[in-house]
Structure 1
């Protein structure tokens, strides 16, 4: 599992020899079953999760008990609640495995020590964070600036692998409309 993570890191920041052994001592391998929560709303987020295999989502539950999906993560993606992780305040979000999922977990209380041993990781996480922020801002632009059909088409073009892996109601929630509306869009597309 470390080999997948080190290969991913090296796409953004070269690692010294032996980095995999160092990472191995700071990361924990965790398995989650479909529907398991990695983080429960109201609890403090204590870790970053690197998806080795599987699919997860971040969502919140409204006062009307509607689930609003905010983020998906598949293989070679990280998922966390950065606000809770960095502030130490309770999370407004749940993180849930959509499929059986294997992760490498980096706990916040070990992160700084790891960064001291492998300073290249600070560059790596900066790049990953910048990309996550850019994607979140782009999503907001699409939600408010495009029709539902345009949002669906854009998502389908960028992330075709998600369409078969993510339940329709979660995808509809992420795109900002109802599952019924998504069914109508899909029916038009054939």
Structure 2
């Protein structure tokens, strides 16, 4: 499983075999059962989390107990409460396995050590954070200028099969629409 993360690193930055041998002991493989919590709201996020296998989602819960899905992650994706991780403050998100999942986690202290020993990892994270910021901006802009059908179609185009991996209520929440409206969009799309 750790090899998946090493290959993921190598897609963006070069790493020597010696550097990999330094990284590997810092990686921890964790398995989660379906619906098992990975991070609870109120905990400080101290790990970067790479989804090696499975499906995971992050969600918030408002004062009325309503859940809002804010992030979806499949294999080869990262999931975290980055704000909590960077500021060392309690998380506003919950992270939960949607199906049996295996994550590779890297503790913040280990990552800080690795930054000093392997400058390429610092470059990897610079690129990742840069890409994440761009993706966040695109999502914000899209939510203000695009209709629900366009958002749904873009999600399906960019992530084929995602609608088979996450329950409809999570997808609807992520898109900012009701489950009923998502069902309408699905029917309308299948007719077209």
Which structure 2 residue ranges, 5 or more long, are not aligned?
Answer: none
Q: Report the counterpart of residue 111 of structure 1 in structure 2.
A: 111
Shift of residue 55 of structure 1?
Answer: 1.1
Q: Report the counterpart of residue 35 of structure 1 in structure 2.
A: 35
Correspondence list, 1:53-132, <5 A: 53-132=53-132
SS in 2 for 1:186: helix
Matched, 1:3 2:18: no
Q: Deviations over 1:5-30 (max 9, x none)?
A: 11111111000122332222111110
**Aligned residues of 2:60 and 2:67 also touching (Cα < 8 A):** yes
Q: Report the counterpart of residue 51 of structure 2 in structure 1.
A: 51
Correspondence list, 1:179-190, <5 A: 179-190=179-190
Give me the whole-angstrom Cα distance separating, in 2, the residues matched to 1:132 and 1:165: 22
Shift of residue 141 of structure 1?
Answer: 1.2
Which structure 1 residue ranges, 5 or more long, are not aligned?
Answer: none
Shift of residue 165 of structure 1?
Answer: 0.3
**Aligned residues of 1:2 and 1:20 also touching (Cα < 8 A):** no
Q: Report the counterpart of residue 146 of structure 1 in structure 2.
A: 146
Scaled by the length of structure 2, what TM-score is found?
0.95
Q: Deviations over 1:120-164 (max 9, x none)?
A: 100011111111111111111111111111111111111122111
Scaled by the length of structure 1, what TM-score is found?
0.96
**Aligned residues of 1:12 and 1:124 also touching (Cα < 8 A):** yes
Which stretches of structure 1, 4 residues or more, deviate above 4 A after TM superposition?
none
Give me the whole-angstrom Cα distance separating, in 2, the residues matched to 1:177 and 1:90: 28
